[in-house]
């Protein structure tokens, strides 16, 4: 039976330093690629994974790959994602070093008061204000896993998908810049550069795998940061389920495609496994299997989510954790096989967590009824006015953009949410008294701008952002038992482990943020973290 230290050495071929008696000592890396042993950084985002999940799995599976990574690396036990805790700001933060105030990315589906609606071709005289939907809705064909590339029947299947998914986005589905009257692609919507762009400037190869073609946003403003970007569409139609997220076995199959891409890249090939390119300096993927296992009430006849008051993963979630563990183990074994164990750093984290873990805390609220009630009240008080709420994205936070950007409109909405029950709204499953909106703190108008650290005139931030009472999920149905996107601790408390040559195994309890991953990646590679614009703006420190 392996000890923790021996297992770690076995998996990566002796790359680890010894456990020291003192505190964590980061590698003293001077800038310059010849000053660090790290030549490759593999970044893994296990979406939905809480720090408590990693601790539970490592404790109950002491000889697992996840336990080896946790016990062999620098583990930050109090790591938090950006707010809002959505996939887009979470992933963007990891590769830029910035929060939404700096990156401009608040969610994958938002509103921008300065852009024109998708499909606008004659821009003169068009009133600004447009949905910015960098989701499956931007694909050429959102029903197909290849997003419309037309790969049916080709040898190798979805792995033959293009490494330049920008070509699979439908320009007519993108918002329009009034200055140029041209569609705004995701990469050009991002305000700051990424680790991929910095690596490319130093002649290093880059790759990434994610869940929508719109993740070409990670290319950064240059549009060229990632050499090989593999983005099979997760919300497309799956062979045996509505889409790949509706059945956890389907999600694991989907994640398996991206995992194979990583194995191909470790072997020095492109994601398809057909072309020799060399192992990237920065590469990685996100896993969705844990996230869907947390959200699905049932899958394959078994219960999703957690048991024992939210402290123990149930059968579907345990199986998903086993799946992720097996893939991480396969990555470690392949790195060792290729002789890359001594030169590769692995960083494990998550774009977001999920809330609530305790099924008894779940409270479903129909946000549609809240919005309808607010709009009706607004028009009753302002005869002839249009709807106040022009766009809303509500998972386990209320986020609203208004037709009236005044402080008076913000205060009207705040009063309504605090004092008026939404017509037709039913609060179910609550073990405590909730108001109809389920909110616990509302930020609107100037308060919303202060919350995110931007001027009131900023065109992107929500006019209203509300933190909700624990367990509230905004949905009109019963297809999910947990969500993310808000400020709940279970949304934001995620693992963060740096498992790398020269990094001493240690547990660090002081608070950190996942935005600190970006400067850490560059530091590990011997590159200057200050090459990242967000790092300079926010003074984001490497771990």
265 and 335, same domain (yes or no): yes
Q: For the chain, how many structural domains are there in total?
A: 2
**Does residue 439 form part of some domain?**
yes
**Is 178 contained in some domain?**
no
Measure the CA–CA gap between 497 and 55, rounded to whole angstroms: 12
pLDDT at 18: 28
Q: Quick one: how far is CA 521 from the chain centroid?
A: 17
Same domain, yes or no: 334 and 433: no
In-domain check, residue 42 = no
Torsion of Cα atoms, 328 then 329 then 335 then 338, to 10°: -140
**Position 429 in a domain:** yes
Identify whether residues 339 and 469 lie together within a single domain.
no
Rg over alpha carbons for the chain, rounded to the nearest Å, is 23
Asked whether residue 510 is domain-assigned, the answer is: no
Low-confidence ranges of the chain (pLDDT < 50): 1-11, 13-31, 155, 423-433
Parent domain of 265: 79-105+159-166+186-356
Half-sphere exposure of 478 (CA within 13 A, CB side): 7
Is there a single domain that holds both residue 246 and residue 101?
A: yes
CB 232 within 8 A of CB 257: yes
Domain assignment present for residue 390? The answer is yes
Give yes or no: residues 420 and 346 share one domain. no
pLDDT value of position 153? 64
Same domain, 449 and 307: no
Listed residues 413, 446, 474: the one ending a domain: 474
Judge if 433 and 310 occupy the same domain.
no
pTM, 2 dp: 0.92
Task: Identify whether 232 is part of a domain.
Answer: yes
| Contact between residue 90 and residue 354 where contact means Cβ atoms under 8 Å apart | no
Beta strand 306-307 with 312-313 is antiparallel
pLDDT at residue 421, rounded to an integer? 63
- Which pLDDT value is given to residue 22? 29
Shared domain check, 299 and 389: no
Of 446, 474, 502, the residue that ends a domain is: 474
Decide if 271 contacts 261 (C-beta within 8 A). Answer: yes
Q: Phi and psi at residue 177, in whole multiples of 5°?
A: -80, 120
* Continuous H helices in 382-508: 407-419, 446-452, 489-492
pLDDT value at residue 33 = 52
| Residues in CB range of 401: below 8 A, 6 or more apart | 110, 111, 113, 389, 390, 391, 392, 462, 463
Whether residues 197 and 264 share a domain: the answer is yes
Is residue 463 in some structural domain?
yes
One domain, residues 226 and 326: yes
Residues 259/265/269/271 CA torsion (nearest 10 deg):
40
Could you tell me if 264 and 310 lie in one domain? yes
- Single out the residue in 356, 373, 388 at which a domain terminates: 356
| HEC assignment per residue over 240-280 | CCCCCCCCHHHHHHHHHHHHHHHHHHHCCECCCCCCECCCC
Examine the domain organization and report whether 383 and 339 are in the same domain.
no
- Nearest partner of 319 among 298, 350, 347, 348, judged by Cα: 298
- Distance, CA of 150 to CA of 353 (rounded, Å): 34
């Amino acid at each position: 039976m392996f000890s923790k230290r021996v297992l770690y050495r076995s998996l990566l071929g002796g790359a680890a330093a010894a456990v020291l008696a003192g505190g964590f000592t980061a590698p003293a890396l001077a800038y310059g690629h010849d000053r660090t042993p790290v030549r490759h950084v593999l970044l893994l985002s296990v979406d939905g994974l809480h720090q408590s999940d990693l601790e539970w799995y490592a404790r109950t599976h002491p000889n697992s790959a996840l336990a080896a990574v946790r016990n062999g690396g620098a583990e930050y036990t109090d790591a938090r994602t950006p707010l809002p805790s959505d996939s887009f700001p979470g992933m963007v933060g990891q590769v830029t070093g910035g929060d939404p105030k700096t990156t401009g990315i608040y969610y994958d589906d938002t509103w921008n008061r300065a852009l024109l609606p998708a499909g606008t071709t004659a821009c003169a005289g068009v009133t600004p204000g447009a949905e910015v939907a960098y989701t499956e809705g931007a694909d050429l064909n959102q029903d197909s896993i290849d997003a419309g590339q037309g790969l049916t029947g080709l040898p190798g299947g979805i792995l033959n998908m293009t490494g330049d998914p920008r070509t699979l986005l439908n320009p007519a589905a993108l918002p329009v810049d009034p200055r140029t009257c041209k569609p705004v692609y995701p990469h050009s919507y991002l305000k700051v550069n990424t680790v991929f762009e910095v690596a490319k400037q130093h002649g290093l190869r880059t790759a990434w795998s994610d869940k929508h073609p719109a993740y070409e946003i990670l290319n950064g403003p240059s549009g060229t940061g990632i050499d090989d970007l593999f983005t099979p569409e997760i919300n497309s139609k799956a062979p045996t389920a509505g889409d790949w997220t509706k059945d956890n076995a389907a999600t694991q199959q989907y994640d398996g495609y991206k995992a194979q891409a990583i194995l191909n890249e470790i072997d020095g090939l492109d994601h398809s496994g057909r072309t020799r390119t060399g192992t990237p300096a920065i590469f990685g993927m996100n896993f969705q299997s844990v996230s869907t296992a947390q959200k699905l009430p049932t899958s394959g006849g078994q219960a999703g989510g957690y048991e024992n008051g939210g402290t123990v993963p149930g059968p579907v979630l345990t199986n998903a954790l086993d799946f992720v563990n097996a893939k991480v183990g396969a990555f470690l074994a392949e790195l060792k096989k290729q002789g890359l164990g001594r030169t590769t750093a692995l960083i494990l984290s998550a774009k977001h967590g999920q809330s609530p873990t305790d099924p008894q805390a779940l409270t479903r609220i129909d946000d549609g009824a809240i919005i309808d009630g607010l709009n009706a009240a607004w028009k009753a008080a302002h005869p002839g006015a249009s709807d106040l709420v022009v766009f809303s994205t509500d998972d386990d936070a209320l986020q609203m953009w208004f037709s009236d950007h005044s402080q008076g409109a913000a205060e009207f909405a705040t009063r309504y949410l605090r004092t008026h029950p939404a017509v037709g709204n039913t609060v179910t499953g609550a073990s405590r008294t909730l108001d109809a909106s389920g909110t616990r703190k509302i930020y609107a108008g100037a308060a919303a701008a202060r919350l995110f650290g931007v001027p009131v005139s900023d065109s992107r931030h929500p006019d209203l952002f509300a933190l909700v009472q624990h367990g509230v999920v905004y949905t009109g149905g019963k297809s999910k038992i947990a969500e993310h996107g808000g400020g709940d601790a279970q949304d934001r408390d995620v693992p963060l482990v740096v498992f790398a040559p020269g990094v001493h195994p240690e547990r660090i309890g002081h608070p950190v943020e996942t935005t600190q991953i970006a400067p850490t990646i560059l530091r590990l590679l011997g590159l200057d973290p200050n090459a990242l614009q967000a790092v300079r703006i926010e003074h984001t420190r490497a771990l």
